[in-house]
Amino acid sequence: MSQVNPRSLVCLLNLPLLFVVICVSSQTSQAENSGQTSNTPPRPHFAIRVGNQPLKIYTDSQVADEWISAVVTHLNPKASTWELQIKVKDSELTEVWFPWESEPKATSHESKDDIVYSTYRLGVAHLASSLSSKTWLGHMYPGEAFAPLVVTANETHGRMVAAVNWPPKQATAKFARGRMAVLYHGKLLRQRNYDFKTMIATAESDSINMTRPWHLLLDKYKAWLLPHMKEEKLYPIAYTNEVRKANGWMHVSLHWLPKFDAHEIQKLYDDYKETFPWIQFWGQMSNYQRAPGEGRKAFATPPLSPNEKVGCCVDRPSVHRRYQPQLKEVFEYITKQGGMIGFYTRPKSPYKPLTHPDCADLKFLTDWIQENKLAGANAFYLDVLGAKYFGDALGMANILKKTLPGNSIIEWPVDIYPTSFLIGGSLWGGLKYNTRPGQSLSSLGENKDKVTFVNFGRYLLDDRIMFLGRSNGDWMWWGNFRKYHNWTERQAFLLGAKFDAATRFKGQRGWINPVNSVVKSVVEEWKRVHWWERQLKYRDRVGIEYIPDGFNVRRFVDEDGINFFVVDNLRSQTGQFMKFEGRSIALPAKKISIVVDKVK
C-alpha cells in the first residue's frame, strides 16, 4: 500500500465536506512519475470508491496499491485527451471519478464572471459564484443530460471537461464552483481491466469571428463526436422526408376532451392542413381526465370505470373504446390525403434498460407501436426515451436506427441518438430552473443564479430536427394570452425548431387556432427561402458583431456556405442594421423575417 506523503496532504485541506477522502500518492518525485515538461498541460487527478469506504484521491500518473493498478496517459495533446487505465484487484469499485479536481481553478483573472454551462434538457447555465465549491451538481448521461460534458466560461476564457469514451459510458459531468469532474456509474468488478477517456480543453474568445469560448469548446467536442457517429453510420442522420419537410404538428390531448367528437378532429385537419398536415395525439389510451382545479369540470363520456387510470401517458397500448371506430375512420380520411397521424408511446413502468438481448420491455414498446400502426398511426412520439436511462447510449442509438420507426420523435435529446427530438420544457426548465421570458444569461447575478440556456444545446446539436411548443410547461408562453407576445413560437423560430403547436376544442382551456399570426409569419418565411430543403446548421451568433436593441438574431449556414439570419423584430423597428464580419446588413421592419446573405 502506498503511503500518504506530505505533498498529498495538501489535497486534504481543500476537499469538499461532502466527501470523506484519502489522498494517495507514490513516493516518487513529480518529474519521475509524470515525465511532464513546462509545456505539458497539468495531468488530471482521479478518484475511486471501494464499497462504502471514503473516496480515495490519486495525484500520480502511475499507481499500484492494494485496490488498483492504474496509469494516466496523455493520449492526444492536440485534442486535449487523457486516458485512465485501471486494473481492479480484490475489491469491487463503486465509483470512478476522472478527472477529479480537488481545488477550484480559475478560467482567467475575470473568474468572478464565470458561468457554468451544463447539458440538462437543451442547456442550462449557473452563475459560478452562486455555487458551493464543496457540493457537486450534475446530470446523468444518457438520460437527463444530452452530452457528458460541462463548461465553465466567461466572455474571454473557458474550460471544458468531457467524457470521450467510445462506445459512450454512463456518466455524470459534475460541477461545483471552480471545479469540474466526471463520475462514472456502475460497479467495476474484481480482477478486471477498465479504461476511461476524458477531454480537458481550454479556449479563448475569438474577437475576429465573435466566437465565445463555449462555442469553441463545443466545437472541440463535436470534432471528436461526429467521426465516431459516422463510423457507426449514425450520422448524417437519415430523417424521413415526412419528418424533414414538416413545419411541425398540431398537438391534440384526447384525454382532455370531455366528449369525443371525430368531426372536430377532421375539421381541425381541414382548416390547417396546408400548414400542419400532421396531428400528434396524446392520451389515445385514456378516457377523459377530469381536473376541476384546471378548469376541466365536466364528467367523462362514457363514465369512468372503477379505478380506471386516465392521463396523457398511461402505459396502456390499446386505443380507448370511446374513440372507436370513429377515430380510425378520420385517420383514413387524413392519411389518404397524405396527412400524418401520430400516437403516443412509451416504455413500460417501472423503466428498465432496453438494450439487453430478448428484452421484454423493448418488446412491450415495439408491440405498442404495432398496435398504433393498426389503429392508423404513421408517426410515433416515444416519450421519455431521451429523458431517462434505458441502457448504454450506443445500444439505444442502434435500437432507434434499426428497430424503431423512422417517423419517430423522442422526448429530449441525446447527442448520439439518430432521431428527432421534442425539446418542450427546455425554455422553462421545470421548477428546478423556472426561467421566464426575458430571463437570460444577463439575468444571472441580478435576480437569478441559474437559467435555461437553449443556445448551448442547439449549437452542439446544430443540424438535428427538434420540435418546440406546447409540451412540458412551455405552453405558458404560447400565444399571447399571458402578454408574453408568443415567446415560445419566437424561440422556436430562432432555434430553427419545428412547431409543437397548441390547439383547443370546445370545453377546453387553451388556444383555438394553432396557426396564429406568429406561426403563420414563420411558416411563410420558411416557405419563401425553402428552409427545410436546405438542411441548415445553427451557428448561434458566431460572426455577428452587433445587433440593435429590440432585435434577436441567430445565424444558420447551408451546405453551400450561404448564411441565413432569422430575425425577431418584436417592435417592428425600421431603418436598423446588424453588423456581420465587418459588413452592415439591413434588418427588415417585419416582426418575423429571414435574411439571406449570399456573400461568402
Residue 516 near residue 489 (C-beta atoms within 8 A): yes
For 110, the grid coordinates are: 475575470
Q: What is the largest CA-CA distance in the chain?
A: 80
3-state SS class at 217:
helix
User: What's residue 504's pLDDT?
Assistant: 75
Three-state SS string over 16-78 comes to CCCCCEEEECCCCCHHHHHCCCCCCCCCCEEEEEECCCCEEEECCCEEECCCEEEEEEEEECC
Task: Quickly tell me which residue has 412520439 as its cell.
Answer: 381
Phi and psi for 595 in degrees, rounded to 5? -100, 125
For 512, the grid coordinates are: 383555438
Phi and psi for 242 in degrees, rounded to 5? -60, -45
Residue 133 near residue 114 (C-beta atoms within 8 A): no
Establish whether the linkage from the previous residue to 213 is cis, with ω within 30° of 0: no
3-state SS class at 230:
helix
**What's the DSSP call for residue 300?**
P
Residue 477 near residue 452 (C-beta atoms within 8 A): no
| CA–CA separation, 143 and 184 (whole Å) | 14
| CA–CA separation, 49 and 2 (whole Å) | 16
Residue 413 near residue 423 (C-beta atoms within 8 A): yes
Residue 568 near residue 488 (C-beta atoms within 8 A): no
Residue 59 near residue 23 (C-beta atoms within 8 A): yes
3-state SS class at 65:
coil
Rg (CA), the chain: 26
| CA–CA separation, 188 and 172 (whole Å) | 16
Collect the ranges in the chain with pLDDT lower than 70. Answer: 1-41, 109-110, 293-295, 505-512, 600
Question: In whole angstroms, what separates CA 377 from the centre of its chain?
Answer: 27
Alpha helix (H) residue ranges in 417-468: 430-433, 454-460
Task: Quickly tell me which residue has 417501472 as its cell.
Answer: 350
Sheet strands (E) in 187-247? 193-204
| CA–CA separation, 466 and 61 (whole Å) | 43
Establish whether the linkage from the previous residue to 302 is cis, with ω within 30° of 0: yes
Residue type, 561: G
Residue type, 264: E
Task: Write 487-492 long-range contacts (CB < 8 A, 24+).
Answer: 487/427, 487/437, 488/427, 489/516, 489/518, 489/519, 489/522, 490/518, 490/552, 490/568, 490/570, 490/592, 491/427, 491/454, 492/468, 492/522
| CA–CA separation, 253 and 288 (whole Å) | 10
